[in-house]
Amino acid sequence: MASTTSNAELVDEYRARTPASAQTFARACQVLPGGETRAVTTYLPYPVTIAEGHGARLCDVDGHSYLDLVNNYTSLVHGNAFAPVTEAVGELLPHGVAFASPHLLQIALAELLIDRLPSVERVRFTNSGTEASLLAARIAVRATGRRRLLMFEGGYHGSAAALLPTSPDVVTAAWNDLDAVAATLDDGVAAVFAEPFLGAGGVLPSAPGFLAALQELAHSRGALLVLDEVQSLRNGIGGEQGRHGLTPDLTVLGKIIGGGFPIGAVGGRSELLELTVASTTDHVAHNGTFNGHLAAAVAGATALRHLDAPAIERLEDSAARLAGRITEGATAAGVPATVSRAGSILNVYLDGPDRLAALHLALLLDGVYTTPRGMINLSTALAPADLDSAARAYQLAFTRIGTV
């Protein structure tokens, strides 16, 4: 077996390979705090600067090509610059993209979401998943007359203060622990917020029957169930709620429903969404200059139409095979590693952040663009040969970082 490469050696090799990215990062630090404007793009010694992307490939400012296993954290389910989306948006642009008026493209996207999600009878658009979660919380508070939100440890519903565990109106319970939920879910809780699997928390699936029992428990205690399908909608025509037979009161959406453009949405029962109707007394006021932005609406509808059942099945099969091959590669290299998976989203686990950082750099050096935390998000643009290349790169990276 080849000798292992230390973290310091990987960093030196990375610096030597990416001088233009280093220069760009130094420039960014003069105008952006920490050289970035999105926390997940940060890693040491500095992030590679991507210049463009096409299909399953990215190119950095140093001219290096990468296989894209990030796909902007699940939002680009068809890869970069997906032709049907770019063509649809291109046709739209000469006719205007934002009006202080309803538009047919907004209606079309809402109709598509309602058609795919039986629990969704009405839709309200926002500009991000965070905004959608905030709106869902306001609707739940108004509908129930309660104030608190129950969320899960390791869960993520956005970066707003009101959605974080430090908020005085947020209580938490252990994931997959129904007894912990029952002990926490009192008559002050307006809604239980849950992802079908913990996404940012490590792609940890729900235990069999947990979500159905959670829905029943929430309703028995007078609380709403808010299902966050921002990441998970890609895993089924009806999202994960369709796979689990759930009927959440409200569903939070984002990412792929914008086809690569900023968007969020809250969908759910008519009587709950009607609380936002501006012509009614004491409504939940909800505004936003770019809510339902037409570029996002046409891009999202186009992306969803191409995400049909066969495409989802191919993504699922590809993810299962890649998870197995990554595990095999780690075993062959003598590296303790596990891979969690929920549909076409995976997460690689190693024993410690330093080793995960080393794996990330080793993959970048071999032309595979993935996340610092180990998350992998597949796209329909990835061909079988691409997945073979990814599996080989992981095995080589495991060999490089070794067992120590």
pLDDT in tens, 8-26: 999 999 999 999 999 999 9
Convert 234-257 into a string of H (helix), E (strand) and C (coil).
Answer: HHCCCHHHHHHCCCCCEEEEEHHH
| Three-point CA angle 126, 129, 135, nearest 5° | 55
Q: Which residues contact 69 (CB under 8 A, 6 or more apart)?
A: 368, 369, 370, 371, 376, 377, 378, 390
| pLDDT at position 319 | 98
- The two beta strands, 197-198 and 204-205, are antiparallel
Looking at 3.40.50.1220, 3.40.50.300, 3.40.1010.20, 3.40.640.10, the CATH number of the domain 83-306 comes to: 3.40.640.10
pLDDT value, residue 98 = 96
The band of 2, judged by pLDDT with boundaries at 50, 70 and 90, is: low
* Tens digit of each residue's pLDDT (9 = 90 or more) over 300-316: 999 999 999 999 999 99
Burial class (CB in 10 A: 0-12, 13-18, 19+), 10: buried
pLDDT value of residue 403: 63
DSSP 26-72: HHHHTTSGGG-SSGGG--SS-PPPEEEEEBTEEEETTS-EEEES-TT
Taking only the tens place, the pLDDT of each residue in 31-43 is 999 999 999 999 9
Q: With pLDDT > 70 as the criterion, what percentage of the chain qualifies?
A: 99
Distance CA(143)–CA(284), nearest Å, equals: 10
Distance CA 88, CA 306 (A): 13
Question: Token pair 């495991």 is at which residue?
Answer: 398
CA 163 – CA 151 distance, rounded (Å): 9
What is residue 352's predicted lDDT score, i.e. its pLDDT? Answer: 84
- Count other C-beta atoms under 10 Å from residue 26's C-beta: 11
Q: What is the CATH number of domain 7-77+309-401?
A: 3.90.1150.10
355 Cβ partners below 8 Å, 6+ apart? Answer: 401
Q: What is the structure's pLDDT at 5?
A: 87
For CATH 3.90.1150.10, list the domain ranges present in the chain.
7-77+309-401
Q: What is the mean pLDDT of residues 345-358?
A: 94
pLDDT grade, residue 353 (50/70/90)?
confident
Q: What is the pTM of this model?
A: 0.96
Which range, of 80-89, 217-226, 264-273, 345-354, averages the lowest pLDDT? 345-354
Q: Taking residues 186-200, report their average pLDDT.
A: 98
Query: Can the peptide bond before residue 45 be classed as cis, meaning omega within 30 degrees of 0?
Result: yes
Tell me: pLDDT of 364 over 80.
yes
**Range(s) for CATH 3.40.640.10 in the chain?**
83-306
The string of pLDDT tens digits covering residues 110-169 is 999 999 999 999 999 999 999 999 999 999 999 999 999 999 999 999 999 999 999 999
Task: Quote the pLDDT of residue 1.
Answer: 44
